[in-house]
A and B are shown apart, each in its own frame.
Chain A
């Protein structure tokens, strides 16, 4: 794409028809305005309305940017696994939203800010460098690729599982069965054809569990019956015939997922279907089944738990010649439970190895010395007769151990491999991925004298201790209703239990090993897990309180505080490409350097991030909107001041049907407000039960000060406190917003002709108080909003609440409550001295005890705030 030519004064973007038309029209209007005092009233109104629409568009873009920034911050803070696809999508979304703001600002100011386009171009170019600009390899365009062409650089197109296997086979020369991969590109083609509008997948992203389950079921059914595009099908069948020709006598294959994020940042252990012994006739169905398993409830929960975006998911599928295994297992290049140890750990079981990783059979375990290959320890599974020969010979164990150590050296990180031995005695590597470690946990202290031991034994899969009532689960248990904080007890371990794991305080199984999928997932989440405890299902009663010390392999009766040291944290995971990209991209999106609009540095060219651009535009948008009074009448006229008893200077900008007062009034009264939305909000703000801040002249500490919080402790000296606030009103729209420094709050509401258009959005961000107060305040606001029927999301110091699809009466009544809340926040803030006040404040609001007069005593009418215990003597200056 060619860049637009830039002149030294700023960019001269190719003007499109609309902008040209509008601009000509506005020029025309201006020219008319210069020559004649009387413009047609309708023209002015339309031009005004267009500006209002542009303004609204810019506000919505601003909200999108704030939400994106918060999302980026949270993902980085929590190191959430994020794939390159969604990072790029976020970068594009941020740029697009910024561009919308710039277009809107220039649109409503007659291109007064051309250098903003230049600044945005610069940000775009920097963002583009994050993605390297490297061309996709030719392999990216293939439907299938043989294993012989794979290496780890192809992971973004074939998934890590197959890319790693290619690396192991082609770079390390280790034995890997022949095979091929059906690429992520093929997946997308199949999904497009099966589900059609792939955007549908996203519509359930924020849905509750049951909806996700229903959506998942529908998607599975669609994928399982998908028509595979002809080109893809031909490529698969072709690769399959060549595989059968080269792979020898067996005509059967293994079909397994190689999803894009699988086996890298996250293990996705056991989340996808693996099909073994697939005959040629079954191949295409098997392929579809693996794709469909993407939408199993366990997978959806798992992804939800780590905040994985659907956009990052694409399932490449490996098809490998079947190894007729008589023995199989896993190999860890380090002990997953003891990161400090240098030994190699092998697990072996008879047969195909699936029973082992699914936790159905106990394995033989070997500890192998890293350098010499000597067997240091060999523990036989209980079921095996003591005199039968070991499953793996010393020589075989040493060979596998040496391979996995080489793999660790090659990949530069500890490895978790699957291996198998075929009937001829040949050893194979079937899988290679980074090993997930448990975070080290402080050793548990001993229980006090007299503590009753309930059970002992088993194997530590994840060290740490947890306590709670026993909840036994089996194949038929409804996992969606697993009690929070319970100790999950089951006969077998199963990756399907992931749904319950996230709420469990500990896990105990009768059978299962640290090599299993469930152990991997428990490590990733950080749930203490003790596996292989004989008869746990029989001996532990449903509902009985126990304390599981997984590290010490002991289960005690009751809750034993002494052993409940820290829970293990989520596992240390390798950081993927996505996190690196996220860090780079955030650098040009998140930081805010333009904080003070009064400073000389507050210029378009000083904008070096998307946040800066949004900040700058937001500031100027209000200025410009304020300026549109020029088009209403007198160029020097200001918006009318609302004459009400509120400790804030509130100006009203009428965008059509918002005010009933004569045009040009300098002051308007409550009774002049025609906008039903604004009227309702005002009534709430003026509610008699809420103490006000006294006469305006004496108090600049209005609710806005609280809502916005200016970040100063001596408000009297700060000019910014007397900054006016604007309400933009029309017959169906209300936007009341203000922003100072880093802090922002807005009520945005629309009440139109269709029920599904109606909404109230309430957003609150920022506050310069200490973390604890901010956190309490956010929690209290969120609780109140929830009680009012809002869907609330609060992350850090952002509260984002939505109320929608409600009939007009309900919408207006709710706006009244929001008005009260805006006012009430002042009381709330003063109260946030201690934890107990969170609940107190919420219930006071809901009981309409706005003055916080505990016990309903006569209130001190007109005082600025109630003084909760410990409140400072600063006369109620809010300190947010």
Chain B
């Protein structure tokens, strides 16, 4: 089975570094982007299986980035991972098609479980869209 390719989007470089390490140790292939614009650029260059997205970022915020991803890459699942619990953002993100909205600190196990679910879903969607 090929490795799951994750795109981590967060404006905090230290978070990106340590999160990459944690996920890398669990056999994920991780790429990072420090804002929404960079994320969309990376996605145009290569295919990702799942995107993990921060909400509060300078420039394009998580919700707006989510909207762009949904439009341009409709099969790629997006998980919001944010440090700030906001009820309206959570509901809005889920309404707009995020597969989950997790809060930092999130247990690594839980995140991996959600990544795995997102990956399976993407595989099926991709097959369906092929036809």
Contacts and interface: CB of A to CB of B under 8 A. Distances in A.
Nearest to B26: A756
A808 interface: no
A308 B64 CA distance: 35
B74 A753 contact: no
A67 to B, nearest CB: 11
Contact of B18 (A60, A103, A197): A197
Given A40-B131, A95-B90, A199 B108 contact: yes
Nearest to B81: A199
B105 interface: yes
A196 interface: yes
Contact of B22 (A13, A93, A200): A200
B101 A16 contact: no
B49 to A, nearest CB: 14
Interface string A752-769: 011011000000000000
Contact of A88 (B85, B92, B113): B85
B35 interface: no
Given A198-B104, A198-B105, A203-B107, A192 B12 contact: yes
Interface stretch (A46-54, A617-625, A684-692): A46-54
A46 B127 contact: yes
A18 B18 CA distance: 30
Interface string B86-129: 11111110111101110111111101010011001100110111
Contact of A43 (B77, B90, B97, B128): B128
B103 A89 contact: yes
B115 to A, nearest CB: 11
Interface in B9-60: 12, 14-15, 17-19, 22, 26-27
Contacts of A127: 87
B117 A96 contact: no
Contacts of A197: 14-15, 18-19, 22, 104-105
B89 A1 contact: yes
B26 to A, nearest CB: 8
Interface residues of B, number: 52
Interface majority SS on A: helix, strand, loop or mixed?
Answer: helix
Contact of A46 (B1, B105, B128): B128
Interface string A263-307: 000000000000000000000000000000000000000000000
A4 interface: yes
B6 interface: no
B124 A128 contact: no
A50 B118 CA distance: 11
B105 A50 contact: no
A100 interface: yes
A17 B70 CA distance: 5
A556 B129 CA distance: 80
B116 A757 contact: yes
A422 interface: no
A92 B105 contact: no
A124 B88 contact: yes
Contact of A49 (B15, B22, B124): B124
A21 interface: yes
Contact of B103 (A93, A124, A195, A201): A93
Interface majority SS on B: helix, strand, loop or mixed?
Answer: helix
A99 interface: yes
Given A18-B70, A88-B85, A310-B105, A196 B17 contact: yes
A50 B124 contact: yes
Contacts, number: 153
A200 B105 CA distance: 7
Name which of A18, A20, A42 has the most chain B CB atoms within 10 A of its CB.
A18
A848 B131 CA distance: 53
Contacts of B111: 199
A56 interface: yes
Interface in A377-430: none
B95 A99 contact: yes
Contacts of A60: 113, 117
A187 to B, nearest CB: 13
Contact of B125 (A15, A18, A95, A756): A18
A541 B92 CA distance: 66
A196 B95 contact: no
Contact of A20 (B12, B74, B121): B74
B95 A4 contact: yes
Given A18-B97, A92-B103, A121 B87 contact: no
Contacts of A91: 85, 87
Name which of B19, B108, B121 has the most chain A CB atoms within 10 A of its CB.
B121
Contacts of B15: 192, 196-198
B94 A85 contact: no
A124 B75 contact: no
Interface string A141-183: 0000000000000000000000000000000000000000000
Contacts of B108: 199-200, 203
Name which of B67, B96, B105, B127 has the most chain A CB atoms within 10 A of its CB.
B105
Nearest to A194: B14
Contacts of A93: 103
Nearest to B19: A197
A128 B86 CA distance: 9
A205 interface: yes
B97 A19 contact: yes
A358 B113 CA distance: 46
A57 B117 contact: yes
Contacts of B77: 18
B88 A103 contact: no
Contact of A92 (B19, B22, B101, B120): B101
Contacts of B1: 753
Contacts of A205: 107
A96 B22 contact: no
Interface string A9-37: 00001111111111001000000000000
Interface in A113-157: 117, 120-121, 124, 127-128, 131
Name which of B14, B99, B117 has the most chain A CB atoms within 10 A of its CB.
B14
16 contacts: A13-B95, A16-B97, A17-B71, A18-B70, A18-B77, A50-B124, A91-B87, A96-B101, A100-B94, A117-B95, A192-B15, A197-B18, A197-B104, A198-B105, A753-B1, A754-B27
Interface of B: 1, 12, 14-15, 17-19, 22, 26-27, 67, 70-71, 73-75, 77, 83, 85-92, 94-97, 99-101, 103-109, 111, 113, 116-117, 120-121, 124-125, 127-129, 131
4 tightest CB-CB pairs across the interface, nearest first? A16-B97, A17-B74, A196-B18, A199-B105
